[in-house]
Amino acid sequence: MDYCRRGTSTIDSPNGDKRRLHDEAPTTAENGGFKVRMHLQPLPVLKKMAIAAVMLLTCAGAHAQTTIYTFGSQLGNPSSTTYQPADTFAALSVTSTDGMHYIFDLQATSSLGALFGSPDAGIRLVLFNTSNVDPVAGSVHLLSGTQGVSNIFHSPGDTLVGGVTFDFTDGWYGANSANGRLNSGERAIWEASFSAPTNFVVPPFALKVFGINGSDSNFAWYVPTVSAVPEPETYGMLLAGLGMLGFAARRRKMRDAAAA
> pLDDT per residue over 24-37, tens digit each?
444 444 545 544 44
Structural domain boundaries, residue 25: 1-63
pLDDT band at 11 (very low <50, low <70, confident <90, very high): very low
Do residue 44 and residue 86 come from a single domain?
A: no
Can you give the length of the chain in residues? 260
pLDDT band at 60 (very low <50, low <70, confident <90, very high): very low
148 Rama class: left (phi>0) / alpha (psi -120 to 50) / beta: left
Tell me if 240 is assigned to some domain.
no
Tell me if 241 is assigned to some domain.
no
Residue 128's identity, in one-letter code, is: F
Do residue 74 and residue 57 come from a single domain?
A: no
**pLDDT > 80? residue 254:** no
Tell me if 173 is assigned to some domain.
yes
Q: Which helix (H) or strand (E) holds 125?
A: strand 122-128
pLDDT band at 149 (very low <50, low <70, confident <90, very high): confident
pLDDT band at 249 (very low <50, low <70, confident <90, very high): low
Do residue 153 and residue 199 come from a single domain?
A: yes
Tell me if 172 is assigned to some domain.
yes
Do residue 147 and residue 24 come from a single domain?
A: no
**pLDDT > 80? residue 229:** no
Do residue 17 and residue 81 come from a single domain?
A: no
Q: Answer for the pair 104, 189: CB distance below 8 angstroms, yes or no.
A: yes
Is the pLDDT higher at 178 or at 176?
178
Q: Where are the alpha helices (DSSP H) in 64-172?
A: 112-115
Residue 69's identity, in one-letter code, is: Y
Do residue 99 and residue 159 come from a single domain?
A: yes
Do residue 33 and residue 130 come from a single domain?
A: no
Average pLDDT across the chain, whole number: 75
Do residue 168 and residue 135 come from a single domain?
A: yes
First to last CA, the chain: 29
Alpha-carbon distance of 89 to 146, in angstroms, equals: 17
Do residue 218 and residue 145 come from a single domain?
A: yes
pLDDT recorded at residue 64: 83
Is the pLDDT higher at 47 or at 67?
67
Highest mean pLDDT among 41-45, 72-76, 173-177: 72-76
Question: Measured in whole angstroms, how far is the alpha carbon of residue 202 from the centre of its chain?
Answer: 19
Q: How many domains is the chain partitioned into structurally? A: 2
225 Rama class: left (phi>0) / alpha (psi -120 to 50) / beta: alpha
